[in-house]
Structures are given as structure tokens and as C-alpha cells.
Amino acid sequence: MNSPRYVRYRAEVPADSREALERIASLGPTRNPLERSAKGYVHRDDPEEDGRAYYDPEDLRVLGRACIELADWLDKTAEEAKEDPTT
């Protein structure tokens, strides 16, 4: 049975955002709202170190900004490659 917090998360966070978070690292809210954290799963270079990871709101904001930076860079380099495929 899903916790009330998870039910609220599913109701208030758009499905496309939830799906993206799941694809990235199985991210979702922890049960206790006072923890202000999300729990996810991280794959590391050493498989024995794979496991749960917890992120606070600032961690998630940094991750979000990093994803935007990467997306912008990918667009920029794709445009450059159209003009000069050797770049």
C-alpha cells in the first residue's frame, strides 16, 4: 500500500517529471516530509558500491541545473557539428 505522502507526490508532480526522475536514478520522496529528502539508486564504477542515495532539495537543484547545462551543451555542439563536422 502506498503511503499518503507517495499518493500526494503522484498527484502533485507531473507524470513526465516522475518518469524522468525514475529513469535517472529511481528517485522519489522519502516517507517522512520533515526529512526533506528524496531516495534514489546510484550505479557506481564498483558494482559493490551501488546502492541507495539520498538527496536534499539543494542537491536536486544542483542536479537540475547540471542537466540543463548538459542539454544546452549538447545542443550547442550539435549545431557546431552541422557547420563543421570535425568539431
* Percent of all residues in the chain with a pLDDT value above 90, rounded to a whole number: 60
Q: How confident is the model at residue 5 (pLDDT cuts 50, 70, 90)?
A: confident
Contact at 8 Å (CB) between 64 and 71? Answer: no
81 and 42 together in one domain? no
Average pLDDT, the chain: 89
Mean local confidence (pLDDT), 7-13:
92
pLDDT of residue 37: 95
Residue 67 has pLDDT above 70, yes or no: yes
- 46 and 5 in one domain? yes
For the chain, what is the domain count?
2
Are 16 and 32 part of one and the same domain?
A: yes
Stated pTM of the model: 0.74
Query: Dihedral, CA atoms, 66, 72, 75, 79, nearest 10 degrees?
Result: -130
State whether 47 and 34 are in the same domain: yes
Range of the domain at 70: 57-87
Render pLDDT for 20-40 as a digit per residue (tens, 0 to 9).
Answer: 988 888 899 998 999 999 999
Task: Examine the domain organization and report whether 47 and 66 are in the same domain.
Answer: no
As a whole-number percent, the residues of the chain with pLDDT over 70 amount to 98
Of residues 20, 39, 17, 43, the one with CA closest to residue 30: 39
